[in-house]
Amino acid sequence: MLREGTILQQNRYRITHLLGRGGMGAVYAAWHLSLEIPVALKELTPQADLDPQMLGQLRAQFKREAMTLARLNHNNLVRVLDSFEEGGNAYLVMEMVEGESLADRIGREGALAVPVVLRWAHQLLDALAYCHGQNVLHRDIKPTNIIIRPDEQAVLVDFGLVKLWDPRDPRTMTVVRGIGTPEYAPPEQYEAESGSTDVRSDIYGLGATLYHALAGQAPPTATKRIANPAALIPVHVLNPAIDPAIEAALMRALELRPIDRFQSAREMADALRAPSYASAQHYAPQRPPTSPPPPFPVHVLNPAIEAALMRALELRPIDRFQSAREMADALRAPSYAPAQHYAPQRPPTSPPPPQPRSQKTASPARTQPVPITKPPTRPPAQPAQQAMPQQVQRQMPQQAPQQLLQQGPQSMPSQLPHYLPPQPRPGRGKAIASIVAFILGIIGLVTTFIIPIYNLPFPLIGIVLSILGIRSKHQRGLAWAGLALCLLTLGLLALPALIGALQEFGNF
């Protein structure tokens, strides 16, 4: 941390005081000694444990960003005047913007007036459109990085997380990056692959900032919204004065999927400017897909297993299985959603905003309640060993199960109440092992008196097979008998050797 009065860059800048500090470094107010003007000095401090190769890439990235930012010239963007490195740290010299941050204004006044916020929104969107035209992404738009000047002009500052973006190349020139402030960072910015961010990431950050200014409180983080979509409170609940068209535009800018947001800053500015945008309608965009939907996959698995897996992979915890036992029952029961793809249709989680006064007499199509369809309930699983009654077997043709599956799950319980597909009998291999072990025990015992020593493999193999048979619940008596015969055979084989050893010991 630099102290007051520190001189940098060969007697060019003198530190006056600290403006702010964050994870990427600090911002100082400084005095340009040769030009005699106040400047803001952004200090970027690399991590202490970086290897030399990564540090070299960071320095090259910083130089590219500084050269690009120095060429930006917009009334609502802070100007970059200089850049240098000193003492192992990198510095950006920016013009000093007089005024207060948007965060301070919201903290003092709470929810701000809609016309004032919209005027700032258009200024910032014009600045973002200019930056995106220069292939520059900000990636850290939030109220603390917006300065409101005395002439009520909004200025976007602090390019600490800037990214040089090439729309022709999905990869980026960013070596190291931060995720920004969680409340204003889109979900794709949490990814380790930095190539997933583009101009729509700045759209999300600005939308979250405008939400904070109009609602008086910051929106929930993207991770909270993924776990609970109802966490995002509609703006009109916190600020009833907002127009439905403005709220619809904000909710579209805050979509979790980038494809559902505005695709450019110009598009968002036009939506905020046009009063007919989503007039008197809740935001529920129905846009044609950009790519044709993929064909249905070839279902190698049983549809019941697929349905259970898709339910376990639901994003919302309330939509998944509520216990491991419930999931185990679903995977065990073949009648769980048979011959259907799992596509539950749930009602919207957040309450819809009220209709404006001018649109209370809307058409019945808009006020019609949305039907709620529940996923098919799973009937209780029948025991696997319960067989089909013989009378039903005689009356049902061979192809009846396939016909019932084609008719759907609703017809199966009434026509075939207790029928389950034949299940493989467990333990059949171990039962065979018990029988073979018993036979080998008899063969070993008989051959002991005919070809001793040469019959040794019979009892050894029989012992292994008898152990497998004992562990099963089938033919366990034969397994124990085979084990006894094999052990007796080994005892008879070892008896002559034992007697000979005792005679040798007696002679000795």
Whether the Cβ atoms of residue 138 and residue 205 lie closer than 8 Å to each other: yes
- The question of whether 329 is a catalytic residue gets the answer no
Place of tokens 């769980």: 336
Q: CA 341 → CA 329, 333, 334, 348, 423, distances in Å?
A: 19, 16, 14, 21, 24
- Of the segments 101-105, 137-141, 407-411, which one has the largest average pLDDT value? 101-105
42: phi then psi, degrees, rounded to nearest 5: -95, 120
Q: CA 490 → CA 443, 458, 496, distances in Å?
A: 12, 10, 11
- Count of CB atoms situated within 10 Å of the CB of 177: 17
Selection from 151, 154, 146 nearest residue 119 by Cα: 154
- Give the pLDDT confidence of 14-26 residue by residue, as tens digits: 999 988 776 567 8
Q: Could you state, in order of their start, the residue ranges of all structural domains in the chain?
A: 7-95, 100-273, 428-507
Please report which confidence band the pLDDT of residue 48 belongs to, taking 50, 70 and 90 as the band edges: low
Task: Identify the CATH assignment for 7-95 out of 3.40.640.10, 2.40.30.10, 2.40.30.170, 3.30.200.20.
Answer: 3.30.200.20
Between strands 80-86 and 136-137, the pairing is: unpaired
- Give the pLDDT confidence of 230-240 residue by residue, as tens digits: 899 999 999 99
Catalytic residue from among 140, 158, 198, 202: 140
Residue 274 has a pLDDT of 65
pLDDT at 7 over 60: yes
- Give the pLDDT confidence of 326-354 residue by residue, as tens digits: 988 888 866 554 444 455 545 455 555 55
CB under 8 Å, gap of 24 or more: what pairs does 458-463 form? 458/486, 458/489, 459/485, 459/486, 459/487, 459/489, 459/490, 459/493, 460/486, 462/436, 462/437, 462/438, 462/486, 463/437, 463/487
| Range scoring the smallest mean pLDDT among 41-45, 102-106, 189-193 | 189-193
- Give the pLDDT confidence of 267-297 residue by residue, as tens digits: 999 999 865 444 434 444 444 444 544 544 5
pTM above 0.95, yes or no: no
Fold: same for 7-95 and 100-273: no
Selection from 210, 202, 216 nearest residue 246 by Cα: 210
Cite the DSSP H helix spans in 278-343: 303-312, 324-332
pLDDT at 164 over 50: no
Selection from 5, 147, 127 nearest residue 73 by Cα: 127
Whether the Cβ atoms of residue 310 and residue 342 lie closer than 8 Å to each other: yes
Whether the Cβ atoms of residue 118 and residue 126 lie closer than 8 Å to each other: no
The third-level CATH classification (topology) of the domain covering 100-273 is: Transferase(Phosphotransferase); domain 1 (1.10.510)
Whether the Cβ atoms of residue 221 and residue 183 lie closer than 8 Å to each other: yes
